C-alpha cells in the first residue's frame, strides 16, 4: 500500500468525525429554531461540542452589539461551563485577540500565545505563563460581525488549517442562529411594547388617581427596560425646579422629594430643552449632576430621560438609570418617549378633572351664597334647582 493511501486511510476517521460534528451542529440549530431560538442554550452546547471535537482544552464565545459591547459570553474548560469576569470580556474586546478578529473580520491562528502580541491572557489562566495555541473566528452575518468564537489548548502548533476550516464552518452556522434569534427577540419585544402601552393607556383611562397612574407606569416600564431605578419628576412653576414625585427601584424612597433647578443635571436639561436624551457615560457628560446619587447611594452609570409634555409645555421628566445590559439603546429611549407621552395624557386628564371640579365648586359657591333667590328651570318651566334664598 502506498504512503498516500496510508495517510488517506488514517485521515478518514478524522474526516468522518468532523462531518458528524457539522451534522450535529446543524441539527442543534434546527432544534433550537423549533424551540424558540434561545441562544443561551444553543451557543454553550455548540462551544462545548467544538472544544471536544477539535481537541481543544478550552473555548469561549462572545456575542457583541453594534458598539462592540459584549452582550453575552460563555467559557468552557474541559467541558465545564464557567463564568467569565465582565471586566475581562470588555478588556478582551478592547485590545485582545477578539478585538483583532472583529476589526479585521478575519480568523486568526496563534501557534504560540507567549509570542503573539494579539493574545491577552487572563491572569488566572495557564496561558499567561505557558505557550498555548489558539484559533479565533468571527461570527459574521450580513457583512457584520455579531460575535467571536475562540478555542485554546496547551502547547505550540496544536491547530492546523483543517481545524480552522472546521471552526469557520461552525461559526458560519452559529452566526445565522444569532441573527435569527435577534430578529425573533426584537419581534417579541415589539409585541410586549404594544401590550404594555395598551395596558398603560387602560390604567390612565380608568383612573384619575395620578399617584396610582405614575406608579403603574413605572412598574410596566421596568418589565421591558429592566433597569435599576426609574422616576418621574414634575415641574414646580413657582421655583422653576424639578421635584421628584415617584420612584421605583433602588434608592427610590430617598429620591422622592429631591428638587433640581432647571439648569442642573441631565433631567434639568431635558426639562429646559424639551428633548429626550440618552447618556451611557454620565461621568463624561458636563450636564450630569450627582445630587441624586449622593441622596440615594446609587451610582448612575447610564441614563435615559424624556420630557413629559402637553401642548408643547413641559410638565416634567421621566428617567431610567442603569440597565441590566450595562447600556441603553435608541429603542430603549423610544420606549421611554412613548411612556412619557402616556404620562402626559394622564396628567392632562387629571388636571382637566381638577379644573372641572374647581369650576363646579366656584359655581356652587356663587349659586348658594347669592343674596338673591335663584331658580333653574328647563325650557318648559320645570324647576330643577334652587338656591337657599329661594
Residue 55 lies in a domain: yes
CA distance 116 to 97: 9
Residue 371 lies in a domain: no
What stretches in the chain show pLDDT beneath 70?
1-19, 21-37, 79, 81-87, 200-201, 203-210, 346, 348-377, 379, 381-390
Environment class of 256 (CB within 10 Å of its CB; exposed 0-12, middle 13-18, buried 19+): middle
| pLDDT computed for residue 136 by the predictor | 96
Q: Is the domain of 240 the same as that of 128?
A: no
CA distance 110 to 115: 9
Residue 141 lies in a domain: yes
CA distance 159 to 110: 9
Q: What angle do CA 206, 207, 213 make, to 5 degrees?
A: 115
Q: State pLDDT tens for residues 2-40.
A: 433 443 344 555 566 666 766 666 666 666 555 556 778
Q: Is the domain of 169 the same as that of 254?
A: no
Q: Is the domain of 172 the same as that of 283?
A: no
Q: Is the domain of 106 the same as that of 227?
A: no
Residue 108 lies in a domain: yes
* Diameter over CA atoms, the chain: 127
Q: Is the domain of 178 the same as that of 211?
A: no
Residue 337 lies in a domain: yes
Q: Is the domain of 163 the same as that of 22?
A: yes
- What SS3 class is residue 286? coil
CA distance 63 to 257: 41
Q: Which residue matches cell numbers 485521515?
A: 11
User: Which strand ranges, in their side-by-side order, compose the sheet holding 58-64?
Assistant: 80-82, 70-77, 58-64, 144-154, 132-141, 108-110
| pLDDT computed for residue 95 by the predictor | 81
Residue 269 lies in a domain: yes
Q: Give me the phi and psi of 231, to 5 degrees please.
A: -155, 155
| pLDDT computed for residue 45 by the predictor | 82
- On the CB side of 164, how many CA atoms lie within 13 Å of its CA? 17
CATH number at residue 238: 3.30.450.40
Q: Give me the phi and psi of 227, to 5 degrees please.
A: -115, 170
Q: Which residue matches cell numbers 462572545?
A: 62
Q: Is the domain of 211 the same as that of 140?
A: no
Q: Is the domain of 263 the same as that of 354?
A: yes
Q: State pLDDT tens for residues 276-290.
A: 999 999 999 999 988
What's the length of the chain? 390
pTM, 2 dp: 0.61
| pLDDT computed for residue 180 by the predictor | 81
Instruction: Give the residue among 132, 135, 133 at the shortest CA–CA distance from 166.
Output: 135
- On the CB side of 252, how many CA atoms lie within 13 Å of its CA? 16
Residue 118 lies in a domain: yes
Cell (9 digits) for 86: 465582565
Q: Is the domain of 269 the same as that of 166?
A: no
Answer whether 260's CB lies under 8 Å from 242's CB: yes
Angle between the N-to-C axes of helices 210-225 and 330-369, in degrees from 0 to 180, rounded to the nearest 10 = 170
Q: Is the domain of 165 the same as that of 228?
A: no
Q: Is the domain of 102 the same as that of 150?
A: yes
Environment class of 257 (CB within 10 Å of its CB; exposed 0-12, middle 13-18, buried 19+): exposed
Q: Is the domain of 76 the same as that of 26?
A: yes
Domain of residue 165 covers 3-185
Residue 386 lies in a domain: no
Domain count of the fold of the chain: 2
Amino acid at each position: 500500500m502506498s504512503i498516500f493511501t496510508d495517510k488517506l486511510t488514517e485521515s478518514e476517521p478524522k474526516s468522518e468525525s468532523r462531518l458528524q460534528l457539522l451534522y450535529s451542529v446543524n441539527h442543534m440549530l434546527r432544534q433550537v429554531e423549533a424551540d424558540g431560538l434561545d441562544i443561551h442554550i444553543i451557543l454553550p452546547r455548540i462551544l462545548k461540542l467544538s472544544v471536544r471535537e477539535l481537541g481543544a482544552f478550552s473555548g469561549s464565545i462572545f456575542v457583541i452589539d453594534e458598539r462592540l459591547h459584549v452582550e453575552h459570553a460563555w467559557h468552557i474548560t474541559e467541558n465545564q461551563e464557567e463564568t467569565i469576569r465582565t471586566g475581562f470580556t470588555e478588556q478582551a474586546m478592547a485590545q485582545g485577540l477578539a478585538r483583532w478578529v472583529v476589526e479585521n473580520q478575519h480568523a486568526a491562528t496563534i501557534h504560540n500565545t507567549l509570542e503573539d502580541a494579539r493574545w491577552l491572557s487572563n491572569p488566572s489562566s495557564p496561558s499567561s505563563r505557558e505557550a498555548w495555541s489558539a484559533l479565533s473566528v468571527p461570527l459574521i452575518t450580513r457583512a457584520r460581525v455579531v460575535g467571536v468564537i475562540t478555542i485554546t489548548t496547551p502547547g505550540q502548533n496544536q491547530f492546523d488549517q483543517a481545524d480552522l476550516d472546521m471552526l469557520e464552518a461552525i461559526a458560519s452556522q452559529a452566526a445565522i442562529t444569532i441573527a435569527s434569534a435577534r430578529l425573533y427577540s426584537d419581534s417579541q419585544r415589539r409585541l410586549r411594547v404594544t401590550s404594555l402601552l395598551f395596558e398603560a393607556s387602560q390604567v390612565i383611562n380608568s383612573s384619575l388617581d395620578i399617584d396610582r397612574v405614575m406608579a403603574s407606569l413605572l412598574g410596566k416600564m421596568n418589565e421591558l427596560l429592566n433597569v435599576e431605578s426609574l422616576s418621574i419628576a414634575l415641574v414646580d412653576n413657582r421655583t422653576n425646579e424639578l421635584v421628584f414625585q415617584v420612584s421605583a427601584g433602588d434608592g427610590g424612597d430617598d429620591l422622592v422629594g429631591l428638587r433640581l433647578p432647571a439648569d442642573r443635571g441631565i433631567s434639568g436639561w431635558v426639562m429646559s430643552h424639551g428633548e429626550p436624551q440618552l447618556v451611557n457615560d454620565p461621568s463624561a457628560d458636563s450636564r450630569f449632576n450627582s445630587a441624586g446619587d449622593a441622596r440615594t447611594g446609587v451610582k448612575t452609570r447610564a441614563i435615559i430621560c424624556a420630557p413629559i409634555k402637553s401642548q408643547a409645555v413641559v410638565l416634567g421628566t421621566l428617567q431610567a438609570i442603569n440597565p441590566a445590559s450595562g447600556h441603553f439603546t435608541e429603542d430603549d429611549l423610544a420606549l421611554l418617549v412613548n411612556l412619557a407621552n402616556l404620562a402626559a395624557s394622564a396628567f392632562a386628564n387629571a388636571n382637566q378633572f381638577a379644573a372641572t371640579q374647581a369650576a363646579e365648586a366656584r359655581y356652587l359657591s356663587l349659586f348658594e351664597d347669592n343674596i338673591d333667590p335663584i331658580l333653574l328651570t328647563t325650557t318648559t318651566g320645570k324647576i330643577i334647582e334652587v338656591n337657599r334664598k329661594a
